[in-house]
Amino acid sequence: MDTIILGTGGLGRAAAAALTARGDAVRLVGRPDSGRHDPASLGRADMIVEASRGHAVRSNIEAGLAAGCRKFVIGTTDWAADRAAVDAMLVAEGAAAVVASNFSAGVVLFGRLVEAATRLFGAVPEFDPYIVEWHRRTKTDRPSGTARDLAARMLAIHPRKTRLSDGTGGQPAPEELEVLAVRAGANPGSHLVGFDAPGETLEIRLSSRDRSAYASGIVAAADWLSKQPRTPGIHPFDPEVVDELLAAATLPKPAG
């Protein structure tokens, strides 16, 4: 499979290594000086993996479509404002994309575990939930896309929490879910969800050692798109791709 990866950061390099290791022809493309990719310079590819920055997603997908690509995997975060426009472009061109804030299958299953814990502890008023996430100092968005996804799962279930704390300081309102973002060092990603009561605390944590799990999920998403024609538009990694992986009882192996 001929694949273009837009973005030369850690995620893009990890995806390139995973796809190259299994025999794909991969081109790793950085951001042009003009700020917009020229479709003619991209050339046609079987697949485009978007791994750049949130503000570039819309124009990158537009360029990929103009270059003739009809399959995309979007692993970039912080582009929610453009999601509807990107979906509309894909539908109009008969193209499909798999999208996730985090392509780790472990993160997806962690999210389902968090939902189950929220149902249990949400029934007990004394337990107050919270989220703490820690990423490398250079990560720009906060909270992370994964933390926002975890928060959305919790807010959809919890009987008393209805919105995120705005983080402006002071005591959060009873209906606010506290989410703390730490940006320090080189941590590739750590997410902790806790439930605290006066006499005890329960915490569940997922820590990434490197980006190999993210890259493996991107490979799985690319294979899912290539296996058969998919309905045009955006497809979520969870549940569509992950449920198929679980049904086959084979989670993607870490790259490398």
Q: How far apart are CA 100 and CA 216, in angstroms?
A: 13
User: Which residue in 37, 135, 161, 235 is the catalytic one?
Assistant: 135
Rounded to whole angstroms, the Cα distance separating 29 from 75 reads: 15
**Annotation says 139 is catalytic:** yes
Q: Is 135 a catalytic residue?
A: yes
Q: Which of 139, 161, 191, 235 is catalytic?
A: 139
User: 10 Å Cβ neighbour count for 175?
Assistant: 12
- Spell out the residues 6+ positions from residue 250 whose beta carbon is closer than 8 angstroms to its own: none
* Active site (catalytic) residues: 135, 139
